[in-house]
Amino acid sequence: MAHMNIVLHEPEIPSNTGNIGRTCVAAGATLHLIEPLGFKLNEKSIRRAGMDYWKELDVRIYLDYDDFLKKNEGAVIYYATTKGPHVYSDVHYEDNCFIMFGKESAGIPEDILYDNQKTAIRIPMIGKTRSLNLANSVSIVLYEALRQHDFDHMKLEGQLRSYRWK
């Protein structure tokens, strides 16, 4: 069963984190939050965005980036950034890898990106668009990683309430 890890480096907007938490529950991914956070984890806006899924979320919190690295020594980490040299869909995501996203106002610090150029990835965009919404970016990259593993632990067929598929 493929497992992915989503890392938010100093997230600032509680509703984004709530939406990402909900996505992680739906995808069976673990959410890792690197402090400082721009909100408190018990804020109403996180609960509203994450709905009733937040209690099912595997979430881990770290004091800072160094604490994250120390507790996940040897992990394969991809750094999602608008500055990345590699397109996210050209990468092979290993089982149990980590995909890191930066804070909404500034992204991942450039010194971290410079030290990890080989695993810095980007979502292509047209023109002068600065970035996509953080929750949308997480969904795009996470589901590409899961697709590469054939969605092996996921429900692949839905059901209608009043009809049966032919």
pLDDT in tens, 33-47: 999 998 887 766 666
Read off the pLDDT of residues 135-154 as tens digits, 9 standing for 90 and up.
Answer: 999 999 999 999 999 998 88
Domain 5-148 fold is Alpha/beta knot (3.40.1280)
Evaluate if residue 50 carries a pLDDT over 80.
no
What is the mean pLDDT of the segment spanning 54-75? Answer: 95
Region of 86 (left: φ > 0; alpha: ψ -120 to 50; beta: rest) is beta
Average pLDDT, the chain: 92
Q: Classify the C-alpha dihedral 22-153-149-74 as positive or negative.
A: positive
Q: What percent of the chain has pLDDT over 90?
A: 75
> Does 123 appear as a known binding residue?
yes
User: pLDDT: is 97 or 159 the higher one?
Assistant: 97
Domain segments of the chain as ranges: 5-148
pTM of the model: 0.93
> Does 158 appear as a known binding residue?
no
What is the mean pLDDT of the segment spanning 72-95? Answer: 97
> What is the pLDDT at residue 104?
95
CA-to-CA distance for 104 and 92, rounded, in angstroms? 26
Q: What percent of the chain has pLDDT over 70?
A: 95
Q: Any idea which residue has 């604490």 for tokens?
A: 67
> Does 45 appear as a known binding residue?
no
> What is the pLDDT at residue 55?
82
